[in-house]
Structure 1
Amino acid sequence: MDHLTTLDAGFLEAEDSDRHISLAVGGLSIIEGPMPDFETFAEGIAERITRVPRFTQVLRTHLLDLSPPEWVEHRAFDVSHHIHRAALPHPGDEDALYRFVADVMERRLDRDRPLWECWFIEGLADGQWAILMKMHHCIADGISTMHMISGLSDNGKEASFATEIGAARRGQDGRVGLPKLNLNPLSWVGGAWNLATNAASAASLAFEGALEVTAGILRPAPASSLNGPVSSMRRFSSARVSLDDVAKVRQAFGVTVNDVALAAITGSYRAALVRRGEQPRRNSLRTLVPVSIRSNDAADVADNRVSLMLPFLPVDKDNPEEQLRAVHRRLSKAKASGQREAGGIVVAAANVVPFPFTAWAIRALTKLPQRGVVALATNVPGPRTRMHIMGREVVRVVPVPPIALQLRTGIAILSYADELVFGITGDFDSASDVDDLARGIEQGVEKLVELSRKAPA
């Protein structure tokens, strides 16, 4: 049987812990017009979607969680239950589109059917139209989701930025770094010593990281409007910046693309806290930063393969350059501390513990009022070139993250072709300023680009 991993099942438990949340992830593709005939187009897309086994399967659960939920074929599968058509009210502007996206994403998927939906959206301004793909987080993480969405393109799977991340390269070259077979017995002692030393060092690093992650989750953050109960309604917005601009900043300051993105997010959250009358402090914004542990040879696998880091984003600093350098230092420290390794080990270990124990533990933990983490920022590498679907160019792809566990906002960062796109989901009642958050991110990158021009070579 094809069972859910403990991490996959954890997303179901987290959703069950709060009737106000829906743990579905989404990808919004905005496409040049005109829209083709719906019936013909839907038939073609359905054929591509249903190549993925998860999209024709349902979950079968077991009494008392005696074994993990398993994927089984849905005998009454009907693709018309999942492919829908909608039209935006005139003038079909971005506000109307994002209001529709929020409405779709806030509703839970029906667990009696395969856990996905596909919406064709007409009536966008400038003669454009859109496709919104929605699937439950128990099916896939961000990279796997984008891999499936890129499978809708005319070329099949598109070349992705995901192949360049560290975990992907390490998995692809997994044999590199392993000791080669040596027939000289004199070398075995040294090899055994090095292996034991490296194993002890890795265990120590992971233990240190586990302590930091645990402390980050359990230690309450200062009271903030960013953390607390959520309603059942959502808001959505997005920001777009040029990858060329991000590259200029990266090269000028010797940082990563992720550093630049998180620095821009830092500046926007700082402005939000000030706007809300709250004092930004050093420990105000502990942020959940998922880290992929997916290798390139597992790109086609529909599941979740992530660890995490929990850095404080430096909202206490006002200067954009100081924010960028602080983000770089703190992420480097989090990487060196073993947080990523600890998360990966915990996930792997949970899969060998009898499922009833892990299921009950996750259920108990997700019901607790989580106060340590106040924001989510997840980076999802997307296709390197513009996709085409049924001959139409996909001009933009916008990620749509969920919110849960007391987090009132969530930001997903997607690299697509020549853009870096930020999708921002917020609680309708307590995060009404998601548009301001989006504009703050764009302004943050603009400030960093300006500073990069003045930076010494």
Structure 2
Amino acid sequence: MEHLSALDAGFLEVEDSDPHISMAIGGVSVLDGPVPDFDELVTALTERLVTVPRLRRVLRTHRFDLEPPEWVERTGLDLRHHFRRTALPQPGDDATLFRAIADIFERRLDRDHPLWECWVIEGLAQDRWALVMKVHHCIADGISATRMVTGLSDNGASATTFATDINATDINATDINATKSAAATGAGRSLPLNPLDWGRGAVELSATATTVAARALRGTVEVVSGLVSPAAASSLNGPVSTLRRYHAARVSLSEVNAVCAAFDATLNDVALTAITQGYREVLLRRGERPDRTSLRTLVPVSVRQTEDLDTPDNRVSIMLPLLPVDRANPLDQLRLVRSRMSRAKSSGQKQAGSSVVGVAGLLPFPLTAWAVRLLSRLPQRGVVSLATNVPGPRQRLQVLGRDVVRMLPVPPIALHLRSGIAMLSYGDDLTFGIVADYDSAPDLDVLATGIERSVARLAELAAKR
């Protein structure tokens, strides 16, 4: 029996707060045909999935949230119940595939069973088919969910080299972990003979802890300010319906890397700049004026250690940068994105999120559960979009000998965010998977095209430079 952490359980509370949302995340692998025998495929994938304990356990909750939910073993479970198959109508193009993805992810997972599904979609153009892995966010964050999707391949996630994380400077170290490490290191040493060394060590550890606390406090102020300060009124923020739309944009990692080298930017800076231009084109197409505060974006940041990559759970913090959707020049956009992300990292926003999660884990669970439910029911107006990034496998994958030619990420939307974007690298592709509310976002193609056009334009400028 395993209890959910406060962060894991928070995704259940958020889902319970709005009957129109599903907190499922996942990925889609497009493969070259022919489609293998369904029973053979199910048998092979089941053997690979049962190695993850949370995928063979059922969620048990307690009345009035008096205790944290827990994962429990249940005898007699037939995991074949979780495998589904469907076929696309002709011509089986991207538009019909995207519609099928939206249909699959807009429906909530059944909490009476393990919280995942695996879909086989047949009938894609060019004699291709797709494998869809859908899991509840309380099971895993983007990185561990991607490891699960990759684990379906013939060589498995543990044998796969993953691309450098887009927020590489954030993934393997936090100031809080550094402080813990310093304390642990000091605890493991023999006591120095010189009493002056005792005081010096205490002062150094105290200074580190004070610096971390000050940065976390400053970051907390910025995060809270971003949440309570309403964004400029636009159609990007508001209640959502039950139905979803899905679209994807694909750009070349080689071009992105060329832009990074030419303008001293990170891959994440370039990706967020492309998203900025995409949303700018959406607002202009809708006849709305892009404002400086129109696009405050929730950017999850991994705080997962390398040794925990294969542990399915949630280990993320957040940053809330304002993306410069009011600027038309692509280099201005890139410069501002870079400076604002640097400021968000140095100001302690990430540490603030980690601290809040850590404190929530120390409080009585009913208090945190009721607080999350109350806050998630309030109509927040400060954050407008979600942009999350996940490192994908470098080498090409196969499933039962079939080549994976494309991988598409699928994020959730909630809390009055009418659209969300997940970025996933695979081979030489960086794919932007976009989920949006069906009724309020009929123009996802404009957003996707704007992202692709932005990267192409920046690559042109990089080549000239």
Same fold (TM over 0.5): yes
Give the superposition deviation at 1:186: 2.4
Which structure 1 segments of 5+ residues have no match? Answer: none
Which one-letter code corresponds to 1:19 in the other structure? P
Superposed counterparts of 1:13-412, under 5 Å: 13-157=13-157, 158-161=160-163, 165-170=168-173, 181=189, 183=192, 184-412=194-422
Give the superposition deviation at 1:162: 5.2
8 Å CA contact 2:383–2:417 kept in 1: the answer is yes
* 1:190-223 deviation digits (Å, cap 9, x = unpaired): 2211211121111011001001101111111111
SS of the equivalent of 2:51 reads coil
8 Å CA contact 1:293–1:307 kept in 2: the answer is yes
The separation in 2 between residues aligned to 1:376 and 1:280, in whole angstroms, is: 17
Percent of counterpart pairs with the same letter? 57
Give the superposition deviation at 1:278: 1.0
Which TM-score applies when normalising by structure 2? 0.95
SS of the equivalent of 1:208 reads helix
Calculate the aligned-residue CA RMSD, in Å. Answer: 1.6
Which one-letter code corresponds to 1:319 in the other structure? N
Residue aligning to 1:451: 461
The number of residue pairs the alignment matches comes to 454
The separation in 1 between residues aligned to 2:325 and 2:170, in whole angstroms, is: 29
Q: Are residues 377 and 168 of structure 1, via their aligned partners in 2, closer, same or farther at CA, if it must alter by over 3 Å?
A: closer
SS of the equivalent of 2:254 reads helix
The separation in 1 between residues aligned to 2:173 and 2:219, in whole angstroms, is: 20
Q: Are residues 451 and 162 of structure 1, via their aligned partners in 2, closer, same or farther at CA, if it must alter by over 3 Å?
A: closer
Which one-letter code corresponds to 1:212 in the other structure? E
Which one-letter code corresponds to 2:173 in the other structure? R
The separation in 2 between residues aligned to 1:9 and 1:177, in whole angstroms, is: 31
Which TM-score applies when normalising by structure 1? 0.97
SS of the equivalent of 1:235 reads strand
8 Å CA contact 2:244–2:438 kept in 1: the answer is yes
The separation in 2 between residues aligned to 1:360 and 1:380, in whole angstroms, is: 30
8 Å CA contact 2:92–2:124 kept in 1: the answer is yes
SS of the equivalent of 2:278 reads helix
1:7 aligns with 2:7: yes
SS of the equivalent of 1:170 reads coil
Give the superposition deviation at 1:454: 2.1
The separation in 2 between residues aligned to 1:395 and 1:254, in whole angstroms, is: 31
8 Å CA contact 2:133–2:149 kept in 1: the answer is yes
SS of the equivalent of 1:123 reads strand
Residue aligning to 2:448: 438
Which one-letter code corresponds to 1:120 in the other structure? V
